[in-house]
Amino acid sequence: MIKAYDFFNERYVRCICGDVLDSRANILNLSKHSLKEVPEMIREYSFLVKLYLHVNEISTLPSISNLTNLKILTLDFNQLQEFPVAVCSLENLRFLNISHNNIEEIPKEIGELKFLEVLWCNHTGLMSIAEEIGSCITLDTLGARGNKLETLPESICLLENLRWISFESNQIKNLPNQFGALTQLDHLNLKDNQLQSIPKCVPYMRSLQCISLNNNRIHELPSDTDLQLMSDIKVINISNNPVCELVPDNFFELHSHIVSSEKATRNNRPTSSAEENDLESQRDNNSDFENSVRSSEINSEEGKLRMSNFIFYRFRNFFRSIKNVLTSFVHRFHNRSSS
């Protein structure tokens, strides 16, 4: 049954690729197809603008330098064992999601992506980011939560277009010295790290609207002068920090934008469209699907299958169901045998 599923799945994928080639469509969605490798044929699809490969079983990425027009690439929820350096040849790439893989390092080659605007690298075991990321001068959004970062590269301070950063759930103790140079930063998520004080640059970051510092080790507040400078920030979350037990009872009444509980954060959080898209600091998510391009942007051509493709589609799904049932049965039998 599993071999039958693989047979029909492979031919179904070929049909999808064939349809895209025939129509010269600029979007190809191959997500959730149990792919172990990138189909060789699409490496020559230079007309592609968006390529969705998330939720597969891809462990390595071959050379895709011919995809010269590609702007969006999703590789999240695969089995990559290192950063896919092949993507760095995509000069026009704007959006890259490599979350939920096994990637400990973002290498120096990242600096070749001069036009990259969005980078998601959540839950990969990331331990370091190369200084060359400072060359990605158009970067607007950077998400690397749920990793093992202890420090951030100093060059991140050169990314003057950054508006949205999340380093939630890492091991960060300090921010780079020139972090305050990120004057366009609107959202900063440093929840669940090892900060011992509110970063000194925060009061002077005039565009900042939302900062999450909850679940750190903050034991002191800024001076009255700095608190006044921070009054324009809509939400400052310092809940679950030692300092919450040390301040006067009326402190949070006098500074309503500084909140000391998750409930207060939800009640006071901004309602602008940017904050409504904040999937990181204001509520917990178990997956990063929301970090990818919205489903409304995914081409619906896959639903307009030719009859031959439709047959492969139905057979593929039939054998997928059988495969899932057999897998479940094997696991259940194994568990009973073990007990």
Domain 26-298 has CATH 3.80.10.10: yes
Angle at 289 between CA 288 and CA 290, to 5 degrees: 85
Angle at 84 between CA 170 and CA 86, to 5 degrees: 145
Residue 264 has pLDDT above 70, yes or no: no
| Residues 104/125, Cβ–Cβ less than 8 Å | yes
Q: pTM for this one?
A: 0.80
**% of the chain surpassing 70 pLDDT:** 74
Residue that has been written with the tokens 């081409």 in this structure:
299
| Average pLDDT for 310-315 | 46
Give residue limits of the domains in the chain: 1-24+303-328, 26-298
Residue that has been written with the tokens 């997956």 in this structure:
287
| CA atoms of 252 and 268, how far apart (whole Å) | 12
| CA atoms of 287 and 292, how far apart (whole Å) | 11
Q: Residue 129, SS3?
A: strand
| Average pLDDT for 34-53 | 94
| CA atoms of 102 and 84, how far apart (whole Å) | 11
Q: How many residues does the chain have?
A: 339
Residue 212 has pLDDT above 90, yes or no: yes
Closest CA to 114 of 143, 86, 84, 89: 89
Residue 306 has pLDDT above 80, yes or no: no
- The pair of structure tokens assigned to 109 is 């080659």
| CA atoms of 19 and 57, how far apart (whole Å) | 23
Model pLDDT, residue 260? 75
| CA atoms of 236 and 153, how far apart (whole Å) | 24
Tell me, rounded to whole angstroms, the distance of Cα 173 from its chain centroid.
22
Residue 303 has pLDDT above 60, yes or no: no
Contacts of 268 (CB under 8 A, 6+ apart): 234, 235, 256, 257, 259
Distances 232 to 140, 227, 255 between C-alpha atoms, Å = 22, 10, 11
Tens digit of pLDDT for each residue in 7-31? 667 888 888 898 888 899 999 999 9
Model pLDDT, residue 302? 41
- The pair of structure tokens assigned to 66 is 């011919």
